[in-house]
A and B are shown apart, each in its own frame.
Chain A
Amino acid sequence: ELKVEQNPLFLSMQEGKNYTIYCNYSTTSDRLYWYRQDPGKSLESLFVLLSNGAVKQEGRLMASLDTKARLSTLHITAAVHDLSATYFCAVDPAGGATNKLIFGTGTLLAVQP
């Protein structure tokens, strides 16, 4: 059974600092997604990573994928309060006949002024 683990589970950081969230998964995958969820809200798609070595950036967030290591990272640069949210990675198992996503446990990010 595919397992997706994120760390840390909780991250408190100061504005202006940099940090990385890690997403490890236990079997091969050809698609990995990052989502953001605000409290009581739905999930917002941030990044779609489709191949080994893929790197995507949007504002202060940058995501990368290493399929050989079965690892994705979400890097936060010069954090601001508006980035406070829960971040999920989700994996689409390789070769699957369906598009179901296996979600990580989530990382709750709190950016302090």
Chain B
Amino acid sequence: NAGVMQNPRHLVRRRGQEARLRCSPMKGHSHVYWYRQLPEEGLKFMVYLQKENIIDESGMPKERFSAEFPKEGPSILRIQQVVRGDSAAYFCASSPTDRNQPQHFGDGTRLSIL
């Protein structure tokens, strides 16, 4: 079984550009989560999605950030007009419907803003 697949692994953007991060959940998982990890810190929840629905976006910055999980294709985390402070590792996780199962994490996308 393939795990959670994220791409790209590394992404470099200049200030003002857009960043698109992709995540394909594990087979059989219908729940997707995005977390952000700043250097030497723990992960911070951003958003929780199911197919075509945003369930909880309480951790998402109010501006420039958006997420989607379409009926077909991967989940996308989109950051518009990136700034230096957006530099971080962005992790996607997925889980099955059973809440007693842990979330499984992808390898992350390391975003660097020049």
B-contacting residues of A (Cβ < 8 Å)? 4, 31, 33, 35, 41-45, 48, 50, 88, 90, 92, 97-106
Asked if A100 and B48 sit within 8 Å, CB to CB, the answer is yes
Q: Does B15 contact A (CB under 8 A)?
A: no
> Can you report 21 residue pairs joining A to B where beta carbons are below 8 Å apart?
A31-B99, A42-B105, A42-B106, A42-B108, A44-B105, A45-B104, A50-B100, A88-B42, A88-B43, A90-B43, A98-B55, A99-B31, A99-B95, A99-B99, A99-B103, A100-B56, A101-B33, A101-B35, A102-B45, A103-B42, A103-B45
- Per the bound structure, the CA–CA distance linking A5 and B105 in Å amounts to 21
B39 to chain A, nearest CB (A): 11
Asked if B33 and A100 sit within 8 Å, CB to CB, the answer is yes
Pick the most buried of A33, A35, A100: most chain B CB atoms within 10 A of its CB. A100
User: Contacts A42-B91, A50-B100: A98 and B56 contacting too (C-beta < 8 A)?
Assistant: yes
Which residues of B lie under 8 Å from residue A100 when comparing CB positions?
33, 45, 48, 56, 58-59
- Per the bound structure, the CA–CA distance linking A98 and B99 in Å amounts to 10
Asked if A45 and B56 sit within 8 Å, CB to CB, the answer is no
Pick the most buried of B31, B100, B105, B107: most chain A CB atoms within 10 A of its CB. B105
Asked if B99 and A105 sit within 8 Å, CB to CB, the answer is no
- Per the bound structure, the CA–CA distance linking A33 and B100 in Å amounts to 10
Asked if A98 and B48 sit within 8 Å, CB to CB, the answer is yes
A58 to chain B, nearest CB (A): 13
Asked if B105 and A43 sit within 8 Å, CB to CB, the answer is yes
Closest to B100 in A: A50
Which residues of A lie under 8 Å from residue B48 when comparing CB positions?
98-100
A31 to chain B, nearest CB (A): 7
